[in-house]
Structure 1
Amino acid sequence: MLKWMVPAGKKLWKDEDGLGTLEVLLIVAVLVIIAIAFRKWIFAWIEKVFGESNGQLTNTGSLNTCTDPTKTYPNC
């Protein structure tokens, strides 16, 4: 397994087309490190956003379908 991995790794390191991949991996690594460092703040912000949206959803009124005199509904 190492017989083909070592030459492939060397080829990727020398190949300039692989440089874009390396840059993307470094950016992802930095983003992951930032996310880990600020995870408590991120989770608190997400809970706040979802809590506010949940509060807005529960405070909306319901449509009263029993007011239409032309129709009969079983639970009205």
Structure 2
Amino acid sequence: MGFFNKLIGSVKAATAVEYGLVLALIFIGAIFAIGAVADKTSILWNRVGDEATQAMARNS
């Protein structure tokens, strides 16, 4: 038990936890940002594909 008591009171452990929380928040934000960009990109490429199909149909 002495090890855990030292760890809980340690400034280094608190700093490591804080860095871990900051990294977790950055990671979660990045996941949401990538998801938002992926949705917009998917919509864009679907539109490009539809317009290309229509253009080829008009020229046939």
TM-score normalised to structure 2 length: 0.44
TM-score normalised to structure 1 length: 0.37
Rg bigger for which structure?
A: 1
Q: Compare the two structures and name the one with the higher helix fraction.
A: 2
